[in-house]
């Protein structure tokens, strides 16, 4: 990137009218007694946006002025250069630094301030604060958040939040904090993770601010709510309403127990109209009926119908909430009229969707594209958006809200999809993709068992070709393991490899390591601290029987714990899965924590629902970034992920029904990725040291392709808690308990030779010299995501009780 050459072109030479408007408004702001407050600055910005956006004549001079200012143009070029090269964080930091400079001017004598909805503080940090090392719950870790090893193999590491230590030593700041504070000065205080305690101290000590703060929140929420159906807002207006709403959400979340447990605080909230404003935003009709672009964004990115209510719910004493009865998720009571067109059959429903394709809120709720994949999804759609959407279009939905008749409607709809796609051409392009991929999903699901059950007399019995052979020659074998085995906690964080020491990986540099600390070593599988036994496939068995299965049973109880399947997929299905994997582009890559710091390589990308880290304003339990349903390509990508998730579960259903049921039950409250509420992770050349995760139940893993040095069994999977490792192979699928110690065998530093090639030339990932390739998927639900899903489900069911409490 080139160096900047600043050139601030005089605005009056482009448009004197625009120049006068800006100058006059800025002079008025500067003369105001509250010029340095966030509220006044936001109000100034809002008025200017409305004044400028309302007149098209200003857009041309604005574009001309921006084009003339080479510094701003260079920022545009540099930011997009960084984005193109995958350096999103640097791009965000560049924009954040500009925002910080503006805020420094905007808030004048108060020193550097940030918008509370701005990501600046989250991205750049504050020089005056120090964070002790911690680990954050879940599978996704901030770079400054690092964990400590678990003390026991039987459970995942303890989760701790960052303890913030303010090391600011400014005498003037301390004395100011103890003096009386005006509301405008308080309103100008920054709100970010490292300043939340200070902000709450001021809020607690100044109860006179409470009414003003509630009034401010109400004003911003109501202003946005009044525009919820306005589809004619220009982008600037829409973005301002979005930011204002997220701004309120973030402030509400920052109120700590030390404040909201004060009886007078609750009385102030009750006396305000804040509970009513939030109750309006939690209207279940919103997802179906509110079509303003900023509201769709609030639903998709911030789950606004529930996140605001979650705050109000958290302020209510536990003793009161414990008396509530959770709603059973009944169907909504919808209006109807004798003259309205009926939706009593699957054909009538599909025709209604073809007539009004925008009834599917795909850009507000991406999971809605999966609504016909199974009955559970279909009934959920009726309860949370489809019923309201049809009511709004004046359809009689009596048959849809009856669980007995809607089952029939669902079956009929799937049958009619095939007919309609063959004979009707005037179908919305996005709807057509949804319909076609729904049928494809159904066909793929039926195909999975055929490969596994061919020539087989029972689900977990050998096939006819090997039934009379010795047990070590059969295609299904039982391995007894000691489930009570305890792994030495000192090995957590160690790598494992069979490569000679001079060809082993060097540990990755850890910028957060304490001075003088040494990285964990790489251990041999036979090291006394591990004593891992090797299990590898019998290629003759696979060739004869089509697959090979190992069932891991507890040696004492004989209970089945886990399984491993070699050649789990037929050739067409495996090619299908590999093709999906090669198309990954938009999904977010996961940052791993301290336990992965020395020997974690490759990439892991998340698909489906997850509880965000909370680094960005308004973070909530939603799909991973990049999983939208706006374009046809987006919808195809969503169905690709759905099929990948379904395939691994269907194999597990055959070999380990209890594990399948446990995973489904653990994720039942989650947003659907296809037909499952679990999260899917795509892995490219991913490796990990010995570690434990915080999973809610056993998970599933697949190896779609493997091209590595077989001599060292690179990328093999380690069940440290059983004392075994499996030599991995293309087409493998297995289950494991992520809350117990596991890892992968690390690759060596040696180059592959032609004898290591397993992927033919011309296939994805192949070239003249064989590269290392290890890709596949991992399906699980960790406790953080599970708890978030349950929490959001609970607050939906308690909507009326929450409102009644604040009205009392």
CB neighbours (10 Å) of residue 738? 23
Q: What is the mean pLDDT of the chain?
A: 83
The predicted model gives 324-346 an average pLDDT of 89
Do 282 and 308 meet the contact criterion of CB atoms below 8 Å apart? yes
> What is the CA 632 to chain-centroid distance, rounded?
21
The mean pLDDT of 185-197, rounded to a whole number, is: 79
Q: From CA 716, how far away is CA 563, in angstroms rounded?
A: 15
Higher pLDDT, 605 or 92: 605
Which has the closest alpha carbon to 328: 709, 685, 793, 805? 793
Beta-ladder partners of 673: 676
pLDDT of 130 over the 50 cut:
no
pLDDT at 91: 72
Q: What span, in angstroms and rounded, lies between the C-alpha atoms of 728 and 705? A: 10
Tens-place pLDDT, residues 612-628: 776 567 888 899 888 99
Cα 456 to chain centroid distance, Å, stands at: 40
Residue with tokens 């046809």, as numbered in its chain: 632
25-46: average pLDDT: 66
Number of residues in the chain: 808
For the stretch 225-267, pLDDT in tens is 999 999 999 999 999 999 999 999 999 999 999 999 999 999 9
Q: What is the mean pLDDT of residues 443-460?
A: 88
Residue range(s) in the chain whose domain bears CATH number 2.60.120.620: 471-513+521-792
- The pLDDT, as a whole number, for residue 517 is 74
The confidence score (pLDDT) of residue 678 equals 96
Return the CATH number of the domain spanning residue range 471-513+521-792: 2.60.120.620
- Per DSSP bridges, beta strands 495-496 and 395-396 are unpaired
Is residue 44 within 8 A of residue 24, CB to CB? The reply is: no
Report whether pLDDT(595) > 60.
no
600 pLDDT exceeds 90? Answer: no
pLDDT tier at 81, thresholds 50, 70, 90:
low
Nearest to 452 by CA among 648, 643, 640, 639: 648
Pairing assessment for the beta strands 724-726 and 533-535 based on DSSP bridges: parallel
Across 412-546, where does the E strand assignment appear?
A: 476-481, 495-496, 522-523, 533-535
pLDDT at 766: 52
Confidence class of residue 90 from pLDDT cuts 50, 70 and 90? low
Q: Which residue has the tokens 């973005």?
A: 239
pLDDT tens digits along 207-231: 999 999 999 999 999 999 999 999 9
Question: Is the pLDDT score of 59 beyond 50?
Answer: yes
pLDDT of the residue at 195: 78
Please give the helix or strand (H or E) that residue 732 lies within, else none. Answer: strand 732-736
Place of tokens 């915080």: 694
User: Which tens digit of pLDDT belongs to each residue from 714-747?
Assistant: 999 999 999 999 999 999 999 999 999 999 999 9
Of the candidates 268, 270, 257, 273, which has an alpha carbon nearest to the alpha carbon of residue 315? 257
Alpha carbon distance 511, 143 (integer Å): 10
Residue 570 has pLDDT above 70, yes or no: yes
pLDDT, tens only, 257-297: 999 999 999 999 999 999 999 999 999 999 999 999 999 99
- Closest by CA to 243, choosing from 474, 537, 45, is 45
Distance separating the N- and C-terminal Cα atoms of the chain: 61
More confident residue, 624 or 81: 624
| Model pLDDT for residues 493-514, shown as the tens digit of each residue | 999 999 999 999 888 766 666 7
Per-residue pLDDT, 727: 98
């Amino acid at each position: 990137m080139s160096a900047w050459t600043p050139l601030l072109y005089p605005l009056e030479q482009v448009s004197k009218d625009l120049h006068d408007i800006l100058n006059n408004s800025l002079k008025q702001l500067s003369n105001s007694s509250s010029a340095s407050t966030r509220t006044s600055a936001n109000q100034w910005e809002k008025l200017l946006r409305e004044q400028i956006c309302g007149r098209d004549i200003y857009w041309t001079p604005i574009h001309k002025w921006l084009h003339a200012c080479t510094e701003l143009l260079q920022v545009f070029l540099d930011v997009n250069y960084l984005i193109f090269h995958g350096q999103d964080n640097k791009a965000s930091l560049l924009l954040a630094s500009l925002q910080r400079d503006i805020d420094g001017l905007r808030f004048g004598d108060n020193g550097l301030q940030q918008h509370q909805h701005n990501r600046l503080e989250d991205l750049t940090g504050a020089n005056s604060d120090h964070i002790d090392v911690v680990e954050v719950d879940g599978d996704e870790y901030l770079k400054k958040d690092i964990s400590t090893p678990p003390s026991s193999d039987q459970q995942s590491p303890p989760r701790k939040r960052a303890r913030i230590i303010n090391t600011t030593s400014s005498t003037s700041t301390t004395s100011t904090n103890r003096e009386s504070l005006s509301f405008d000065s308080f309103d100008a205080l920054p709100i970010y993770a490292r300043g939340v305690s200070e902000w709450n101290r001021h809020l607690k000590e100044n109860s006179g601010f409470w009414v003003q703060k509630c009034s401010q929140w109400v004003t911003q929420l109501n202003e946005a709510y009044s525009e919820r159906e306005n589809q004619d807002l220009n982008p600037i207006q829409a973005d301002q309403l979005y930011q204002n709403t997220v701004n309120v959400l973030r402030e509400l979340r920052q109120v700590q127990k030390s404040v909201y447990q004060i009886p007078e605080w609750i009385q102030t909230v009750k006396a305000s109209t804040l509970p009513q404003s939030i109750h309006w935003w939690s209207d279940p009709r919103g997802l179906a009926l509110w079509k303003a672009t900023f509201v769709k964004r609030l639903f998709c990115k911030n789950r606004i119908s529930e996140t605001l209510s979650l705050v109000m719910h958290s302020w209510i004493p536990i003793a009161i909430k414990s008396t509530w009865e959770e709603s059973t998720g009944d169907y909504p009571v919808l209006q109807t009229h004798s003259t309205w067109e009926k939706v009593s059959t699957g054909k009538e429903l599909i025709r209604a969707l073809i007539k009004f394709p925008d009834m599917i809120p795909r850009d507000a709720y991406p999971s809605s594209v999966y609504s016909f994949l199974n009955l559970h999804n279909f009934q959920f759609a009726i309860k949370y958006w489809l019923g309201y959407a049809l009511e709004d279009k004046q359809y009689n939905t009596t048959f849809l809200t009856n669980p007995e008749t809607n089952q029939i409607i669902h079956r009929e709809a799937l049958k009619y999809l095939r007919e309609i796609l063959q004979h009707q051409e005037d179908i919305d392009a996005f709807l057509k993709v949804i319909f076609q991929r729904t049928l494809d999903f159904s066909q793929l699901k039926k195909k999975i068992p055929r490969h596994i059950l061919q020539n087989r007399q029972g689900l977990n019995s050998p096939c006819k070709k090997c039934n009379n052979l010795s047990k070590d020659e059969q295609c299904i074998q039982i391995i007894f393991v000691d489930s009570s085995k305890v792994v030495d906690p000192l090995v957590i964080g160690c790598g494992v490899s069979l490569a000679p020491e001079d060809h082993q990986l060097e540990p990755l540099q850890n910028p957060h390591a304490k001075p003088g600390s040494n990285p964990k070593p790489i251990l041999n599988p036979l090291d006394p601290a591990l004593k891992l036994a090797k299990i590898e496939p019998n290629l003759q068995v696979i060739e004869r029987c089509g697959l090979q299965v190992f069932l891991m049973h507890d040696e004492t109880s004989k209970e089945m714990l886990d399984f491993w399947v070699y050649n789990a997929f037929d050739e067409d299905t495996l090619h299908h899965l590999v093709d999906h994997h090669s198309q990954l582009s938009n999904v977010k890559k996961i940052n791993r924590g301290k336990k992965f710091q020395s020997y974690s390589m490759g990439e892991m990308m998340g698909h489906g629902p997850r509880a965000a880290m909370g680094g960005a304003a308004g973070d909530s339990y939603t799909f991973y970034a990049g999983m939208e349903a706006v374009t046809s390509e987006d919808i195809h990508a969503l169905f690709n992920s759905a099929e990948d998730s379904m395939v691994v579960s269907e194999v597990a259903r055959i070999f380990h029904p209890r594990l399948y049921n446990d995973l489904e039950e653990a994720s039942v409250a989650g947003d659907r990725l296809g037909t499952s509420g679990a999260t899917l992770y795509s892995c490219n050349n991913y490796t990990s040291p010995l570690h434990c995760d915080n999973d809610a139940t056993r998970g599933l893993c697949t190896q779609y392709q493997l091209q590595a040095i077989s001599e060292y069994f690179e990328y093999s999977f380690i069940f440290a808690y059983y004392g075994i490792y499996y030599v991995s192979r293309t087409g493998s699928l297995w289950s494991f308990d992520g809350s117990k110690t596991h890892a992968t065998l690390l690759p060596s530093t040696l180059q592959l030779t032609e004898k290591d090639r397993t992927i033919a030339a011309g296939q994805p990932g192949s070239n003249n010299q064989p590269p290392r390739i290890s890709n596949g998927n991992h399906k699980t639900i960790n406790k953080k995501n599970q708890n978030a899903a349950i929490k959001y489900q609970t607050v939906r069911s308690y909507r009326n009780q929450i409102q009644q409490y604040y009205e009392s």
